[in-house]
Chains A and B, each alone.
Chain A
Amino acid sequence: MNIEAKMDVGGIGAARYVGTRQPRKEDGRLLTGRGQFTDDVRVPGMLHVAYVRSAVARGRIVSIDLDAAREMPGVQAIYTQADLAAVPVSFQTFFFTPVEAPVTLLADGRVACVGDPIAMVVADSRALAEDAASLVEVTIEEEAPVVTIADARTGALVHPERDDNIAAEMGDEDTRLAIQPLLDASAHVVTTRVRHQRIAQSPMEGRACLASPEGTNEMTVWLGCQSPHLAARWIALVLGMPTEAIRVIAKDVGGGFGLKNIPWKEEMAVIAAAKLMRCPLKWIEDRFEALTASSHARDQDVTLSVGFDADARLTAAWCDYACNNGAWPMGEDANIAVHMFMWPCYKLPAYGFVTRGWYTNTMGLGAYRGPWAMESLVRETLLDKAARRIGVDPVELRRRNLIYLPDQPHTSTLGIPVEDITPGECLEKLVANVDFPAFRREQAEARKEGRYLGIGVATYIEPTGAAGSMAPMTGETVHLRIEPTGKVVAMLSTHSQGHGTATTMAQVIAEQLGVPYEDVAVYEGDSAIGAFSPGAAGSRQGVIAGGATWKAAQLLAEKIKVVAAHLSNASVETITIDGGMVHVAGAPEMSRPLREIAEIAYGEPGRLPPGLATGLEAQYRYQPPPMTMTSAAHCCMVEVDAETGFVRILRWISSKDCGTVINPGVVEGQIAGGLAQAIGQVLLEDMPYDARGNPLAATFKDYMLPTIFDVPDFEYLHASTPSQTIGGMRGVGEGGCIIGPPTLVNAIADALSPFGEIDELVLPLTPARILDVIEQRDVSGTRASEVVPVAEVTAPVEAAPVAQVSGIDGDWNMVLKTPMGPQAMVAHFDCDGDAVSGWLEAPEGRQAFAGGVLSGNQLKFEMKVEKPMKITLKYDLTFDGQTVSGKCKMGMFGSAKVTGERG
């Protein structure tokens, strides 16, 4: 289905705005330097913050000497954790669950990574604050740091009070017993390992915070964030303040990517100090801080094995995933989403995995555009490798295994339902528009001349517009009104870091209301307007806020028609609105501007239909289906210089299905931005750490972002299959960053195929690493620098059998480590011989179970739950006196650890 066909289904107004390239409402101020970013805001009496940071990755703070710094002119205060502890904080994740690592605002006796903030200097200017910060003398007893995942497996504890360096863990080694025979029986088994480098998020505008205390206990916070609403709620919860006491404003933000989902140590320390000082404080992250002390991303080591039958059809797959969480992750993360979304678009009968996040003495992990993108990278690169191994064309291999529309509804191995995904249809559209045979001919000719061309294809699906399945993922609200002037004002829960939501939402409103696009003003970026939503997180605003504005505009149009019909003594059905004029069918003399209706609606209530509320306002909060899937197939063509290992991107074609396209320019901008980041990840960007835990790319000279020279002109095909949401949109924010990396890697691997395989994909694929493949030797030194492979982690140690316990009857305080964070609950057990019944109670409520079996000190029981999705929890607990430990199998979520003690 194409856009034009979709548009005929659309609006009630005659003017077509949805599907057109309207100029962005934001561009005027942004392109003329009149945007309002946090650093542009000045508040009377504002002071400036600079941080003293750890130059040591791991150690005990022996002393902090502030005397010399305090004497500097212009210094107003210097805080250490001893001072800020007066403001209690309890850090949470984006999902409003507790962070497990003991996060404090400033270092509390120990430092756990280079860049850890130790002291905070408040002065009349940032320069003066930095002058003083340089005089703070910190003595640290340095300890050998844990830097890599391999270090974390065997090294010292990053957080001494914890049992191990496992930050988060899901999946089940036991499922390997079921998967391995399926792999053994497969005609082909292909294994690939991907080591994804650490990424510095590098938004154009670094983190920024201006906290201004007001009144008795109120605070206005200008904050670089992805949702002022979420930030306000989060700050209030973390500080234990009433929500209404915090107002967050963020008119313009220079990129978020996940880094700005929630504020972190530095922003929260500014807010806490502002509370203590009763004075406005500003902190603007500089580029050195942004690169080395903002939450990093990726840093994964993943091995995937996939079986194929003789016809190249998938049989089974096993994945072992590890991710470096750093010291202070924004929520411990084993990245369960990698496994959830690895296979729903393919016909794979069996899948098992183990997945772990590891603490290390490096900067913490944060979300980054498509945080689960590894699923596409490892799967799609493996599929191409399999195609070469088996001797099947990569497109044909996908055709045999992809889920097409006629195959649906379909439920993935791990239980993800898919009803309207179109990866196959996107692939067919791509193949129809790209002359693959011609490229293969050109490739063959070029090889004769010693030129190495390659083509790469990748397909994927992506969950977008999540609402209702995870705590912060909710609906979106629009407050819409027509002013007495006839102009339209929309106040939205959305937020833009360059997403153009003011533009796309205005297009929807203009079309549905029948007014000129220019007459619609959109306000967002302030927690005092709109309503709660997580904003720009999870490719959701076009999907959900688009639906909200769609519906609200229709509701408002209905009211206008009722008023107009009453004034004209006509029936409502005869009224149309177009171009800001209200018409009555068959009575052109009765046409009147919307302004006239609005003036009457506000100022002459007597002329309105009896009982109708005055004014022209509508409000709608849209709760869409829990998840809306976006699909795509991409194709990239490259030339690899076999002498230097350099990659030149020749063409890149996106075939993407994001449903209704509100503004092709905005959609293509999102895809292009994600692909630019993909190119950076595959070819250029890298934040390496040395063995002492020092980040090595401290400026943009060493942290190499793609420039305009590295990013080609992308070509776009839009396969617009409407979704089930109001308006039919699908999310598009993250896709380029997910499908881009495998597309480019596959093109490079295809170009390199005459020389050999990329045995182990180590990113970035520097020219030296490409020569490794071409010359089949270690040109890059990657292998030479590798540490000795560490042994597989042993399965979780079962508690040793102990003497028969005296009984388990009664209450136990247990903690279940779920993918969304740890969940505390009370368990109650009643034993009748070996038969056990009881209940579990969490904040959401109490649920009973029966049919449990106790054998010795081991208890097994099952419990069915409905939320977040229907799954059966299978508990396997071992009691040891006053403590209990074990695991809980949670269907597709694998296994979660359970620990507890007698209540």
Chain B
Amino acid sequence: MKPAPFDYVRPSSVEEACRVLAEAGGGATVIAGGQTLMPLLALRMSQPFVLVDINGIAALKGVTRVEGGIRVGPATRQADALRDATLARHLPVFVTALGHVGHYQTRNRGTVGGSIALGEPAAEMPATAVALGARVEIASVRGTRTVPADEFYLGPYMTVLEPDELVTGVVYPDWPDGHLVLFREVAQRPGDFALVGLVGALVLEGGTVSRAGIGWFGMGPTPIRARQVEAALVGTALDRIDPQTMARLAIADTAPFDDHHASAEYRRTVGARIFARALAETLDLRSAA
């Protein structure tokens, strides 16, 4: 390691962490699992004046049931969340998506909040938060606020988080037990950020979709909620759902780009296909693409 010089602080409470962040005047970076930050520090692509290590703050860890939802502490290790009984039972879509984050080894250190706060547009966890309608709890010396996940992301690696703010929790609203998991991603190697991916939850009542939350990753500058297709699905009976039509609607909300791994056209083309296929398989539609 040969990072640029920085001060290191390991606060033991959220209040203390917020105070350090405020005093740093924008020069602080929060470290939890360090799976992204450590290489950036070594290559000096990130050069904070103060590194705020939140691993000593117990309040930022763990999964708890709260009024109307499940709260995941941002410093919860991905590996711990994967083994969590509450999430497994009540939010299987979260667990499915989390299983695609990085690798077995990186999940031992990487945290749920780290993935969410980083704001990589092709990552699974930001899109999952957006799709499920999660709310991000934020604290600073100025007070606390809560931001809906789909308003949290501004662009690649850009969020509404102010330099003095800390993510203190992510609350996923209750989805009925037995909700259907919609997940598919296309990544060049297992563990990579996706070329294109989708994640979502569907609730069925009496052969009709009663609730839908669907998000894209790798399909634009931020995770994108597929609102048009959600609206079209809700209230529609299973035997009236045409996966191809729905896929076209799902793609309509995206804004993919070209990079040297794939073209926007590839992302749109394959995005529509994996959407149609995932939808058909999840809903067990006979007209599977």
Contact = CB atoms under 8 A, between A and B. Distances in A.
A781 interface: yes
Contact of B189 (A134, A287, A707, A778): A707
Given A704-B189, A707-B189, A707-B190, A130 B44 contact: yes
Interface stretch (A29-37, A478-486, A764-772): A764-772
B195 A767 contact: yes
Given A134-B4, A684-B188, A710-B189, A644 B274 contact: yes
Contact of B186 (A126, A702, A767, A778): A767
Interface string A111-144: 0000000000000011100110010000000000
A68 to B, nearest CB: 15
B192 interface: yes
Given A779-B266, A781-B265, A286 B43 contact: yes
A82 interface: no
B142 to A, nearest CB: 33
B83 interface: no
A779 B256 CA distance: 13
A476 interface: no
A686 interface: yes
B260 to A, nearest CB: 5
B39 interface: yes
B269 A771 contact: yes
Contact of A643 (B42, B190, B273): B273
Contacts of A643: 270, 273-274, 277
Contacts of B39: 699
Contacts of B263: 768, 779-781
Given A127-B5, A288-B43, A699-B39, A767 B192 contact: no
B231 interface: no
B261 interface: yes
Interface string B184-218: 00101111110100000000000000000000000
Contacts of B265: 768, 778-781
A286 B5 CA distance: 18
Contact of A766 (B2, B4, B261): B261
B252 interface: no
Counting chain A residues whose Cβ lies within 8 A of the other chain, the interface size class is 35 or more
Interface string A683-698: 1101010000000110
Contacts of B195: 767
A481 to B, nearest CB: 44
Given A287-B43, A288-B43, A710-B189, A131 B261 contact: no
A779 B2 contact: no
Contacts of B44: 130, 134
Contacts of B189: 684, 704, 706-707, 709-710
A699 to B, nearest CB: 7
A671 to B, nearest CB: 22
A265 B140 CA distance: 50
Contact of A127 (B2, B186, B269): B2
B258 interface: yes
A401 to B, nearest CB: 36
Contacts of A127: 1-5
Contact of B266 (A126, A286, A287, A768): A768
Contact of B262 (A134, A699, A768): A768
Contacts of A645: 266, 270
A849 interface: no
A646 interface: yes
Interface in A758-776: 766-768, 771, 775
A674 B5 CA distance: 40
Contacts of B277: 643
Interface in A631-648: 643-646
A60 to B, nearest CB: 27
Interface string A779-817: 111000000000000000000000000000000000000
A704 B188 contact: yes
A699 B38 CA distance: 13
Contacts of A702: 260-261
Nearest to A697: B260
A127 B47 CA distance: 12
Nearest to A705: B189
Contacts of B262: 766-768, 780
Contacts of A775: 269
B192 to A, nearest CB: 7
A710 B260 CA distance: 19
A239 B186 CA distance: 52
Contacts of B270: 643-645, 767, 771
B289 to A, nearest CB: 8
A706 B192 CA distance: 12
B2 A286 contact: yes
A766 to B, nearest CB: 7
Nearest to A642: B273
Contacts of B269: 771, 775, 779
Nearest to A50: B2
A239 B73 CA distance: 60
A644 B43 contact: no
Interface string B249-289: 00000000010111111100110011001000000000000
Centre residue among A286, A287, A697, A779 by max chain B CB count within 10 A: A779
B266 A696 contact: no
B2 to A, nearest CB: 4
B143 to A, nearest CB: 36
Centre residue among B190, B195, B260, B274 by max chain A CB count within 10 A: B260
A849 B195 CA distance: 65
A131 B260 contact: no
A891 to B, nearest CB: 42
Contacts of A699: 39, 43
Contact of A781 (B3, B190, B192, B258): B258
Contact of B4 (A131, A768, A781): A131
Nearest to A710: B189
B191 to A, nearest CB: 8
Contacts of B192: 704
Nearest to A688: B260
B49 to A, nearest CB: 13
Contacts of B274: 643-644
A768 B195 CA distance: 10
Nearest to A286: B43
B42 A286 contact: yes
A707 B274 CA distance: 24
A771 B266 contact: yes
Centre residue among B258, B262, B263, B269 by max chain A CB count within 10 A: B263
A501 B15 CA distance: 60
Contacts of A767: 186, 188, 195, 262, 266, 270
A710 B270 CA distance: 21
A84 B94 CA distance: 58
B251 to A, nearest CB: 14
B54 to A, nearest CB: 24
Interface in A21-52: none
Given A287-B43, A779-B269, 16 more contacts: A125-B2, A126-B2, A130-B2, A644-B186, A645-B266, A683-B188, A686-B260, A688-B260, A702-B260, A702-B261, A709-B190, A767-B195, A767-B270, A771-B266, A780-B263, A780-B265
Interface of B: 1-5, 39, 42-44, 186, 188-193, 195, 258, 260-266, 269-270, 273-274, 277
- Shortest beta-carbon contacts, A-B, top 7: A768-B266, A781-B263, A127-B2, A126-B2, A709-B190, A643-B273, A688-B260
22 contacts: A127-B5, A130-B2, A131-B5, A286-B42, A287-B43, A644-B186, A644-B273, A645-B270, A683-B188, A684-B188, A706-B189, A707-B189, A709-B190, A709-B191, A766-B261, A766-B262, A767-B186, A767-B195, A778-B265, A779-B266, A780-B263, A781-B258
